[in-house]
Every structure is written in C-alpha cells, then in structure tokens.
Amino acid sequence: MANLKEVKGRIQSVVSTQQITKAMKMVAAAKLRRAQDSITQMRPYAQKLNSMLQNLSSQGGDDEQGKFSEVRQVEKVLLIAVTSDKGLCGAFNSNVFKAVNRTIKEKYQRQFSNDNVTILTIGKKARDYFTKRNYKVVTDYWDMFSPVSFEKSTEAAEYAMNSFVDGKYDKVEIIYNEFKNVATQIMRVEQFLPVVPSEEIGSSLFQVDYIFQPSREEIVRDLIPKSLKIQVFKAILDSNAAEHGARMTAMDQATDNAGELLKELRLTYNRTRQAAITKEILEIVAGAEALG
C-alpha cells in the first residue's frame, strides 16, 4: 500500500489538474458564445447564397460561370482539411484526419497512388499531421484562427479557385466539423469545385426564374466568386465553433474524471492513515504487555 506522503502528493496533483480543466472549460464556454453567434448569423446567408449559385449553375451560363462549373475527368484532387490550432478538444481533430483518409481510400485511391491528391491544411494540427506523414501538402494558409477573418479565408479560397480554373486540380472538396450544439459536431465532406446543382435544385420544381439587374453577366461575375469565398469562410466559422464546443465538453469530462479520481485517492489516503494508526496502537499495546 502506498505511503501517506505519496498519496497526499497525488491528491494535490489531481486537485491542481482539476482547477486547470475547470478554467479551460470556462474559457472555452466564453469563446464558444462568440463563435456560435458568428456562425448562427452567417449560416442563413451562406445557405441562401449557395442555393442561388446552384440555381444559376443548373440553368447554364456564360464563360465566367462555366469556368467554375466545368466537370472534368478527375485526375488531380485538392482536399481542404479544416482542424484547430490547439489540442485538448477530444476527438475533434482526429475525426478530420480519419475523414480525409477515408475519403482518399473510398474515392481517390487511384489518384493518391499517382501522387495526385493534395491536402490544403487549415489549422496547425492539420499542417503538422499531414506534413509528418509525407502527404502532398499546401501549408501556406494554415493560420486562420488568430483571429478568424474573412480576409484570411479569402486567400485560401482564391488559391483553390484559381488552381481549379488553371487546371491544376480537377476537383476540390472541403472536410470540416460542422457545429450543431455544444456536445455534437457533424463531420462534413462537401464538394467545393466544380459547382454543380443539387438534386433538388436540378428538378424543375425548385428552379427559380431570376430577374437580373443590371445584367446577368455582371451579377454572375460577382456572385459566383463571392459565394465560393463565403462557403470556405462558413466552413472555418463552423469548425471554430465546433472546436470550442468540443473543448468545453472534453474539459467538463476531464473535470468529472478528476473528481472521481479524487474520491478514490482520498479513500485510499484515509485507509492508509487508519492502517498506520492501528499499527501504532498495536505496537504500543504490545510494548505495554511486554513491560508488564
């Protein structure tokens, strides 16, 4: 059985850890509120803009629209992996890594074997993970969360858009955690380019006859790039909110686990202390009897 000093040291260590996890939970909760407000306000706008973009794509169009909607034989693929800069958020980052590897295995194994799958990393954890494992990586746009801004996300979106138009990639997908609530994140694998209409919008029931002012060409020229940039920004905001939710949940569980461990250690401490007291009493009684 461990001695009293050793058990007492372990109790102090667990108490200190519990105080840290409580503080980290409170910090994550404060950051989550701001991040949740940002994605809640952005989501309806992004969804409506994306719906308009898909509607325009389903109707055919000019060269400006066509260059982002051109469907080619998929030989070169870009996967945009969105993670966090920091850890201690449960399985948040590992779920992205698994989703990327699963997507490659199920959809792009041939391209991966030919070294034609590139990972654009957003977040320090993604950069470190894929670089260490010798994936083909674009690491110029990983720093997106200090702080999150539309200007930063635009740089990554423009790289993907320009590379697609130039023929460097034939398909671009975004892989990220979508924020649902504090305890739940939904893994999303969404096609970014080429822009294709969804099945619902592709049906005549959901097509919209827009009235264009000043002209269809001018609106399409401005709307499509903006919608694509908004799509990347939305994914980053979603991931940011989901990260804080995951960290808050992880720290809450860690605090509870520390509490359970403290109960066991204090019970062990009391038992050890009682055993030491009992042993001393027995020695005193034995000594008294020997003197008698």
136-138/117-122 β-pairing: parallel
- Residue 45 falls within a domain, yes or no? yes
Q: Residue 262's closest CA among 46, 1, 81, 8?
A: 8
**pLDDT at residue 264 greater than cutoff 60:** yes
Closest CA to 235 of 187, 194, 196, 193: 187
Give the CATH number of the domain where residue 277 resides: 1.10.287.80
256 shares a domain with 145: no
pLDDT for res 57? 61
Q: Is the pLDDT of residue 202 over 60?
A: no
Query: 163 falls in which pLDDT band (50, 70, 90)?
Result: very high
pLDDT of 26 strictly over 90: yes
pTM comes to 0.85
How many other CB atoms sit within 10 Å of the CB of residue 3?
10
Give the chain's length: 292
Q: What is the mean pLDDT of the chain?
A: 87
292 is a domain residue: no
Q: What is the pLDDT of residue 4?
A: 83
Judgement on whether residues 205 and 256 belong to the same structural domain of the protein:
no
Cβ burial, residue 63 (10 Å; 0-12/13-18/19+): exposed
Contact in structure between 197 and 54 (CB atoms under 8 Å): yes
Each residue's pLDDT tens digit, 37-78: 989 888 888 888 877 777 766 555 555 556 888 889 999 999
Domain with 183 in it: 22-248
Q: Which of 241, 24, 233 is nearest to 122 (CA)?
A: 233
The verdict on residue 291 lying in a domain is: no
Identity at 200, one-letter amino acid code: E
Active site residues: 89
Residue 175 — φ and ψ, nearest 5°?
A: -125, 120
- Reported as a pLDDT band with limits 50, 70 and 90, residue 204 is very low
Q: What share of the chain is helix, strand, coil (3-state, %, to 5)?
A: 65, 10, 25
Q: Does residue 240 lie within any of the structural domains?
A: yes
Tens digit of each residue's pLDDT (9 = 90 or more) over 279-291:
888 888 888 888 8
268 and 189 within one domain: no
Residue whose token pair is 């997908």: 173
Q: Is residue 173 part of a domain?
A: yes
| Cis peptide leading into residue 147 (ω within 30°) | yes
Q: Do 223 and 277 have their domain in common?
A: no
Other Cβ atoms closer than 10 A to 194 = 17
Helix or strand run (H / E) with residue 138: strand 136-138
Q: Provide the token pair at 251.
A: 């720290």
Among 121, 131, 133, 89, residue whose Cα is nearest residue 244: 89
User: H helices of 108-191, where?
Assistant: 109-113, 124-132, 150-165
Tokens 């910090």, located at residue:
27
Number of separate domains in the chain: 2
Task: Summarize pLDDT for 84-104 with one digit per residue, the tens.
Answer: 999 999 999 999 999 999 999
Read off the pLDDT band of 211 (50, 70, 90). Answer: confident
φ and ψ of 258, to 5 deg:
-65, -35
